Amino acid sequence: MSRPFFAAALAIALLAPVPAAPGQDEMVGPLTRDALLERHPDWQTVAAAYQPKPDSVDKLRALAREVRVEIYLGTWCSDSKAHVSAYFKVLEMADTPLIQSACVGVPEDKA
């Protein structure tokens, strides 16, 4: 899968506005994985339950060049919770420095 297509598909999936429970803690702007999981530990539970296909993880481990992934997410969004959590699990399993990620939280009122 080409990088532009992958990034576009990920952005579309993550920006679909599916509101979470009212009053959930919203994070906006540049985010780190650790900060996100510290403030929203339930995302770690989702990541732990996700089981990616081993051959997909192997393909990521075999990357020959650096890939940068920009993720725009809503901490208020159930789709972001599901897909970004799964992405974190895949990154953890692939364990390659060639995949660089940047996360940016978007406010619910701008979705």
> For position 48, what pLDDT does the model report?
87
User: Could you tell me if 62 and 23 are in contact, meaning their C-beta atoms sit under 8 angstroms apart?
Assistant: no
| Integer angstrom CA distances of residue 105 from 1, 48, 72, 76, 95 | 25, 22, 6, 10, 24
> For position 25, what pLDDT does the model report?
79
Is pLDDT at 30 greater than 90 in this prediction? yes
Dihedral angle, C-alpha 56, 93, 90, 63, nearest 10 °? -50
Phi, psi dihedrals of residue 84, rounded to the nearest 5°: -70, -40
> For position 103, what pLDDT does the model report?
94
- Specify the higher pLDDT residue, 58 or 23: 58
User: Could you tell me if 87 and 71 are in contact, meaning their C-beta atoms sit under 8 angstroms apart?
Assistant: yes
Rounded Cα gap, residues 62 and 58, in angstroms = 6
What mean pLDDT comes out for the span 64-73?
94
- Specify the higher pLDDT residue, 60 or 110: 60
Residue showing tokens 């995302």: 43
Say what the pTM is.
Answer: 0.71
Residue 22 token pair = 């009212």
> For position 9, what pLDDT does the model report?
47
> For position 2, what pLDDT does the model report?
58
User: Could you tell me if 51 and 90 are in contact, meaning their C-beta atoms sit under 8 angstroms apart?
Assistant: no
Distance of CA 33 to the CA centre of its chain: 9
